[in-house]
Structure formats: C-alpha cells, structure tokens
Amino acid sequence: MKLGLSIPLYNEAALVTEVVASIHASLERAGIESILVLVNNGSEDDTGALIDALAVPGQIDIVHLRQNHGYGGGILAGIAHLEGLGLPDIIGWSWGDGQVSASALPRLVAAIEDGADLAKTVRPERHDGPLRQLVTTAYAATMRIAGITDTDVNGCPKLMTRATFEAIQPSATDWFLDAETVIKAEQLGMRIAQEAVVMRPREAGKSKVGLSTIGEFALNIGRWKLGRRW
C-alpha cells in the first residue's frame, strides 16, 4: 500500500531539513512506498528555499502557498496535490516540528494494513511546554463534554484509507481539522487505531499553538453542535 503524506510548514527553516530526512528515512527503512508533499504555508523565512532543495521527483513534492492558509488549509493543499496525482491507498498528514518521532509512521501504516480505517497517535507523555499543554487540556475537556470518546483528538500523524478520506471529506482550514476528522470517524462507526507516542520538546522554531487556538476550537465545537459546516 502506498502512503501519501501532507506536511504543512510555516516558518520551520530551523527544523525542516532534519524533520523531512527523518520521516523519509523511517518510511524507507520500513519498506513503505510513499510520497511526501511538503507545503510551504506562506512562510516568511527560508522554509520555501530549503524544501525546494529537498524535492525528489515521485517521492518528495513541493507545494508553495503565497499566504498562510491556516493549519488545516495547509494540510488540505497537500492532499489536493495528491488528488491531482491520483489518491494513494493511505492518506494522511504529519507535523513539521519534529515533536513526534517519525518512527510512529510505520506503526500507523501497519495498523491501516491490519484493517483500521483511521490510525493516529495518542500522547500520554508530553514535554511541549505549559501553554501548549493548557490548550490540549482545554481541547480534551471540551471534547468529553461534546461526547467524543477519543482522549487526544489532535494526536498526529493521522493516517486513513482512501475510502475513509472520501467518506469523511475533512474540510476545516484551521486547527479544528484534526478534531473534525475524529468526530466524523466516530460518528460513522469507523475503526480507529491508536499508537502511543512521546510528545518531545521543540528543538528550534516557535510553536504555532496559542491561547487564541482555544477560542477558535470552542467556536468550531459550537458550530458542529449546531450542525453547521466548519
């Protein structure tokens, strides 16, 4: 089964070369055929130039967005690129900040091959700073109130079968894309596989998650409960 992975990148010049090399090497060691789509999501640093140098035809493709399209928008731009090539058997996304080891990807692919519709990480151990932990705690509490059973809706990477992607049709262009995907998968009774990982400290660069993310998330939860689109 071939994997298509969208990786949104916003001002990740300090990390992008190492992170992409780690992901590519992990998949190659596991013998997983893949295409990585690196999305320069309106970066203002050297991210765009650096990922251009990483391009490998048929293995690592590059998408440049002049303006930042939001976290979800960056991911969806990468998936749209994959759709233009013909969707692979497994579709998903991963972060470009290196805080989750790329070694999780082969385990997630194996879970899909074993019959899971959606495979994602869950982070029981976190070393990502007090602000991000506050945001995550607020996310988890809100999801429990909303009736979602998944304890870590934002856990990434997230992989799914092509059929799952087509059934879910995730569309949120902001941070709610992860929650939207899990919500829809649960509503459809899909089999969700979880792989435990450690959330490592950021080695460089700046987190894009802030207090405003909580408000954005709460707004989207309200829209969902009212039956509106994201």
Render each residue's pLDDT in the chain as its tens digit; 230 residues: 999 999 999 999 999 999 999 999 999 999 999 999 999 999 999 999 999 999 999 999 999 999 999 999 999 999 999 999 999 999 999 999 999 999 999 999 999 999 999 999 999 887 776 766 666 677 677 777 667 788 888 899 999 999 999 999 999 999 889 989 999 999 999 999 999 999 887 777 676 666 566 666 667 776 766 665 44
Helix (H) or strand (E) holding 74: helix 70-85
Q: How far apart are CA 121 and CA 195, in angstroms?
A: 5
Q: Omega into 157 within 30° of 0, i.e. cis?
A: yes
Residue with tokens 């048929």: 58
DSSP state of 114: T
How big is the chain, counted in residues?
230
Domains and CATH numbers, the chain: 3-225 (3.90.550.10)
Region for residue 147 given its phi and psi (left: phi exceeds 0; alpha: psi -120 to 50; beta: otherwise): left
